[in-house]
C-alpha cells in the first residue's frame, strides 16, 4: 500500500498509528498544519517529548529562537502572558512570592532597576496611592503626560515647574485625574498644600 493510500485510509477511519510509539490514536491526538491540513506523523505526546529533549540539549539555541519570536511578536507575547496570568493567577502569585523569598538580593536589584527606568510611573503610582488613602477618586494618568506637566512652567506663578499639584486638593475632595493635575513649582506646592484654589489665589494677591 502506498503512502497516499495509507494516509487516505487513516483519514477515513479518523485514527492513525504514531510512528514513534506505534499506538493507534484518533486524529485529534495529532498536530495538523493550518494551511496544508497535513497531519503529523507523531502523536502530540511523542512530539512534546521530542521537543522537550531537543530544548534541554540546545538551551542556547532555544533561547535565541524564543527571544527572536518575542522581538517579532511583542503584542502576541503580551496577550499570551496576560491570558496565562489571568487563567493561573493564584499559582502565578504564589510562584512570584516564592521566587522573591528565595532571591531577595536579586529581587531588590530588579525593583531598584525598574524604578530607576520608570520614575514617572513610580511617582504617578505614589500619587494614586496617596489619593486612595485619602478616600479620593483615582484614575490612572499616563506617565508621558506626567512628564509633560513636570517639564511645563508652574501653572500658578510661571516659574520653572518640576512638580505636580492637584488644582482641587485631594484633602478637599478633589480627584486624582488628568483634569485635576497641573504643573507646579516647589514653592507654590508648599504654599498651597490642601488649601482650596480660589482662597489661596486671593491670599497670594493680597
Q: What is the mean pLDDT of each run of 10 residues along the chain (206 residues)?
A: 55 76 88 84 91 91 92 91 90 91 93 88 83 82 85 90 88 86 91 88 80
Tally of structural domains, the chain: 3
Shared-domain flag, residues 195 and 140: yes
Q: List the grid coordinates of 107.
A: 529581587
**CB 55, CB 48: distance < 8 Å:** no
Helix then strand then coil, in percent of the chain rounded to 5, is: 65, 15, 25
Range of the domain at 159: 118-205
Q: List the grid coordinates of 2.
A: 502506498
pLDDT at 3: 57
Output the domain CATH number for residue 133. Answer: 3.30.40.220
Shared-domain flag, residues 123 and 179: yes
pLDDT at 203: 85
pLDDT at 104: 92
Amino acid at each position: 500500500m502506498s503512502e497516499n493510500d495509507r494516509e487516505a485510509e487513516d483519514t477515513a477511519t479518523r485514527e492513525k498509528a504514531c510512528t514513534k510509539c506505534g499506538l493507534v490514536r484518533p486524529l485529534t491526538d495529532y498536530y495538523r498544519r493550518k494551511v496544508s491540513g497535513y497531519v503529523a506523523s507523531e502523536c502530540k505526546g511523542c512530539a512534546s517529548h521530542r521537543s522537550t529533549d531537543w530544548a534541554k540539549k540546545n538551551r542556547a539555541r532555544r533561547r535565541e529562537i524564543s527571544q527572536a519570536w518575542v522581538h517579532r511578536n511583542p503584542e502576541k507575547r503580551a496577550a499570551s502572558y496576560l491570558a496565562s496570568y489571568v487563567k493561573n493567577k493564584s499559582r502565578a502569585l504564589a510562584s512570584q512570592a516564592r521566587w522573591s523569598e528565595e532571591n531577595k538580593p536579586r529581587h531588590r536589584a530588579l525593583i531598584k532597576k525598574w524604578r530607576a527606568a520608570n520614575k514617572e510611573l513610580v511617582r504617578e503610582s505614589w500619587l494614586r496611592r496617596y489619593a486612595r488613602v485619602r478616600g479620593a477618586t483615582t484614575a490612572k494618568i499616563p506617565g508621558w503626560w506626567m512628564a509633560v506637566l513636570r517639564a511645563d512652567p508652574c501653572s500658578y506663578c510661571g516659574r520653572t515647574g518640576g512638580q505636580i499639584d492637584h488644582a482641587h486638593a485631594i484633602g478637599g475632595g478633589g480627584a486624582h485625574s488628568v483634569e485635576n493635575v497641573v504643573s507646579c513649582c516647589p514653592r507654590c506646592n508648599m504654599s498651597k498644600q490642601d488649601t482650596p484654589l480660589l482662597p489661596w489665589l486671593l491670599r497670594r494677591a493680597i
